[in-house]
Amino acid sequence: PGMKAIGYREWFSGCSAEGRSAGDVRGRIKADSRAYAKKQYTYMRSIPSAELLPFDGSEEAVLHAAEKIRDFFLLHLT
């Protein structure tokens, strides 16, 4: 399973291919990562009870996400 993860597949098939640079392989890894994230996002939107949180990497966004997670566990596990 590990060799099928994003990055391994591209790196090992890309390195053995003629004429592909490390930059080309990195580009393929980035593109495949974005495609996988898009599939995850699409799947999560199909779950009616899922709440998707906007995230910009800021400390405020992290604290907001942590608060939402805490509230979820308090509601469902107590």
- Give dist(CA 18, CA 29) in Å, integer: 17
Q: How does pLDDT run across 1-16, given as a tens digit for each residue? A: 667 788 887 777 766 6
- Give dist(CA 46, CA 27) in Å, integer: 29
- Give dist(CA 70, CA 44) in Å, integer: 20
pLDDT of residue 1: 60
- Give dist(CA 66, CA 71) in Å, integer: 9
pLDDT of residue 15: 64
Query: pLDDT below 50 — which residues of the chain?
Result: none
- Give dist(CA 10, CA 32) in Å, integer: 9
- Specify the pTM: 0.65
pLDDT of residue 16: 63
